[in-house]
Structure 1
Amino acid sequence: MSNPVKGAERSPSGKVPVVVVAGGGTAGHIEPALALADAVMRLRPDAKVIALGTERGLENKLVPARGYPLELIPPVPLPRKPTPELLRLPLKVRDSVRQTREVLARVGADVVVGFGGYVALPAYLAARGRTPIVVHEANQSPGLANKVGARFAARVAVAVPGTPLPKAEVVGIPLRRSITSLDRAALRAEARKFFDLDPDAPTLLVFGGSQGAQSINSAVSGAAKELAEAGVGVLHAHGPKNTLVVQEFPGKPAYVPVPYLERMDLAYAAADVVLCRSGAMTAAEVSAVGLPAVFVPLPHGNGEQATNARPAVDAGAAFLVPDAELTPAKVAELVVPLITDPERVTKMSEAAVGMGHREADETLAKIVLEAAGA
């Protein structure tokens, strides 16, 4: 257990709080968990935070990079609906729960915080009746793991009103302080230089989630000529498993393809407009930094990405384009006139200011520490 930091606030019992976060799989689960972890450490520098994950998840890269220990457990496949097999704990679930329970006992967990997905479910089942549970749900339509976890959680935090979970408290989505405190204008020159972008050209940021999105890749790269002729630079994260070959146009602003954006703060600072999916975390971050957006919701699932985009669209800070309608022609028709109109960009950016819950990370951290008895 970590040594207490001199002068740190202590719990009434004097115990150092041990917080276990379960948010593996995609960046949409991992990043809010890490933002919470950072907030816990700001409030309680003597705390110990451990992340749960699986061998196949993106957490294997993101968690160690942020300085937190990662404990690996077997993944649990999640059916879309509760089934008798799930409730009877089949062999795979039982094995994962057993190993997770061993981890919780070994690290001395005082609270388990789940963010949904195939890492959260075994964490909830392992902690049930032994360790206090806090659930955070980012989407208005909860997934199966959080529906299960909320039944026996001490506290349930949600991002938006109307989320159908018992005891739901609206706190927003925990975001990294590097995002919520981002001064895009002050970092613009540094960010453009970091990505080898034109220092002065209007710049479009493009990404399709942590794994990329083929429809977005094809549509935007297919409009490279129109973007170049309009004097628009592009920073395009195409996904680590995808490749993107884009024609160069000498004398025009660069179109810069990258597999993955390690520095999202600099990517946001470099951009004037963003075209991206509208996962809950992405929509929250884009609004928090005041970027005008063209949201292209994932066409699968239960429509939660369109729901995530709606507040920004209604506020005049974003457009929504269905995935099936995103073509090179649509990019040329919608994005080029927008990004080359500074007055319009400024107006949309101002509309995004004040949206969301910028203190969600510390609000949730206080709930978690209270549940831990700290």
Structure 2
Amino acid sequence: MTQNVNQTLPELPQPEAPLSVVLAGGGSAGHVSPLLAIAAAILLRVPEAAIKAVGTRDGLETTLVPAAGHELVFIDRIPLPRKPSLDLAKLPWRMRRAVATAKKILQDARADVLVGVGGYVCTPMYLAAKSLRVPIVIHEANTKAGLANKVGARYTTYVGTAFAATAIRHAHVVGMPMRRAIAALDRVQAQSGARERLGLEVGRPTLIVTGGSLGALRLNRAVADSVEALAAAGIQTLHITGKGKAVMRADGSLLTAALYRQVEYVDGMEDVYAAADLLLCRSGAGTVSEVAAVGLPAVFVPLPIGNGEQARNAADLVQAGAALLQPDAGLDGPWIQDNVIPLCLDESRLTRMAGSAAQLGIRDAAERMADMVLAAAEMPNQ
């Protein structure tokens, strides 16, 4: 009697990953970029590790995390109101619901460790991890620690910070996790190729201006008022205006000038850092950390909102002589002519600034965070 070879075979259990890591955080590039850098460093240590990211449905993580090849799941944003309001009255109910969702995420992932980088999703994830006894690892990118990470730091001793000035429990300075293309950048070796890719002359003094992906109106206006003076000094300028922020003339035409090129966005900041002799930019934590890591002189114009964290981010580099700092309200065409143009032409000063920046830069922050993850999960270092 023959057997039916078409019988359905029982489904075999899938082998578990040697390490399951859930990473939480999102909203801005300042959270998503270090999250992805940590994930990449973990996979270098443990290639078979299972990685799952947790974010919100309206943050940059919705595009950046899948593009990096990682699974992304969502949790409701839970703002933590600091003043009496309707949102504060709703907070306990919202938090209970979010913590329940967070527990299910951790349980479904069979998480060995939770890594949080800050943002609205982290508070319920930290509370859920504590309840389930899942080890917690935290990275705080700013000099003023966020409220969510302050909550999480109560439940772990594995807390990495980008800056020594950050006040948070159990802080260990590890630097800012960043993409390998930036962390390993040799500016001198990469400069010629980077300038060619960006449409710049190889041998000319080069100023690059960026206000980040969203642009900065103050920087854009000040540079627009300076293009003729920059060109007269022999300086070429690449102006990254921000998406949708092209700089126009009064007649509605695109601003053009000798030795001046504007683009809305550059995909790959490593080319920007390699091509520039001097960077004029905001002083977000990521930018400050990357500038230091690659040894690039900078003029920082802190964003004039919040509690002054952008100025604090830049303080160490400014004090070391690696950067200048100019308040937003004081940045205009004449200031650029009096300060940026002479600096951009002073090769010896730029060399000294680059060296001072590099002495403060940390290139292996992602690897340091990966080591924390393995330690928290009680895995041998790979």
TM (normalized to structure 2)? 0.87
Counterpart of 1:256 (choices 262, 272, 292) is 262
Q: CA deviation at 1:373?
A: 2.8
Q: CA deviation at 1:15?
A: 5.6
Q: In the aligned structure 2, how far is the partner of 1:84 from the partner of 1:362?
A: 42
Aligned residue for 1:49? 51
- The range that moved more, 156-165 or 360-369, is 156-165
Corresponding letter in the other structure for 2:255: Q
Aligned residue for 2:308? 303
Corresponding letter in the other structure for 1:189: S
Q: In the aligned structure 2, how far is the partner of 1:59 from the partner of 1:330?
A: 37
- Find the residue that maps to 1:354 and give its secondary structure: helix
Counterpart of 1:22 (choices 2, 6, 24) is 24
- Find the residue that maps to 2:182 and give its secondary structure: helix
- Find the residue that maps to 1:129 and give its secondary structure: helix
Aligned residue for 1:365? 370
Contact 2:304 2:328 (C-alpha < 8 Å) held by counterparts: yes
Contact 1:52 1:119 (C-alpha < 8 Å) held by counterparts: yes
- The range that moved more, 269-278 or 124-133, is 124-133
Aligned residue for 2:344? 339
1:62-141 alignment, distance < 5 Å? 62-80=64-82, 89-130=91-132, 131-141=134-144
Cα 1:98–1:211 change in 2 (3 A) is farther
- Find the residue that maps to 1:209 and give its secondary structure: coil
- Find the residue that maps to 1:206 and give its secondary structure: strand
Counterpart of 2:173 (choices 170, 174, 195) is 170
Q: In the aligned structure 2, how far is the partner of 1:61 from the partner of 1:235?
A: 27
Q: In the aligned structure 2, how far is the partner of 1:291 from the partner of 1:265?
A: 11
Corresponding letter in the other structure for 1:210: S
Q: CA deviation at 1:77?
A: 2.2
Aligned length in residues: 360
Q: CA deviation at 1:19?
A: 1.1
Identical residues among aligned pairs (%): 47
Q: In the aligned structure 2, how far is the partner of 1:124 from the partner of 1:241?
A: 37
Counterpart of 1:214 (choices 213, 217, 221) is 217
Question: In angstroms, what is the RMSD of aligned CA positions?
Answer: 2.4
- Find the residue that maps to 2:303 and give its secondary structure: coil
Counterpart of 1:230 (choices 229, 233, 237) is 233
- Find the residue that maps to 2:62 and give its secondary structure: helix
Cα 1:187–1:113 change in 2 (3 A) is same
| 1:23-71: CA deviation from partner (whole Å, max 9, x where unpaired) | 2111111111111111111111111222212121112222222222222
Contact 2:285 2:310 (C-alpha < 8 Å) held by counterparts: yes
Q: CA deviation at 1:84?
A: 11
Q: In the aligned structure 1, how far is the partner of 2:89 from the partner of 2:151?
A: 10
Aligned residue for 1:7? none
Corresponding letter in the other structure for 2:65: V
| 1:125-154: CA deviation from partner (whole Å, max 9, x where unpaired) | 332221221111122211111111112235
Q: CA deviation at 1:104?
A: 2.1
Contact 1:204 1:275 (C-alpha < 8 Å) held by counterparts: yes
The higher radius of gyration belongs to 2
Q: In the aligned structure 2, how far is the partner of 1:231 from the partner of 1:318?
A: 22
| 1:324-374: CA deviation from partner (whole Å, max 9, x where unpaired) | 111122122211111122222222112212213222211111111221232
Q: CA deviation at 1:73?
A: 2.2
Contact 1:141 1:163 (C-alpha < 8 Å) held by counterparts: yes
Do residues 205 (structure 1) and 208 (structure 2) align? yes
Unaligned runs of 5+ in 1: 5-13
Q: CA deviation at 1:320?
A: 0.4
- Find the residue that maps to 1:90 and give its secondary structure: helix
Cα 1:18–1:320 change in 2 (3 A) is same
Q: CA deviation at 1:81?
A: 7.1
Q: In the aligned structure 2, how far is the partner of 1:362 from the partner of 1:87?
A: 41
- Find the residue that maps to 2:207 and give its secondary structure: strand
Contact 2:239 2:260 (C-alpha < 8 Å) held by counterparts: no
Q: CA deviation at 1:285?
A: 0.3
Q: In the aligned structure 2, how far is the partner of 1:336 from the partner of 1:18?
A: 51
Cα 1:114–1:354 change in 2 (3 A) is same
Do residues 152 (structure 1) and 182 (structure 2) align? no
Q: In the aligned structure 2, how far is the partner of 1:330 from the partner of 1:297?
A: 15
Cα 1:217–1:80 change in 2 (3 A) is farther
Q: In the aligned structure 2, how far is the partner of 1:291 from the partner of 1:29?
A: 23
- Find the residue that maps to 1:50 and give its secondary structure: strand
| 1:250-287: CA deviation from partner (whole Å, max 9, x where unpaired) | xx3232222x3320111111111101111112111001
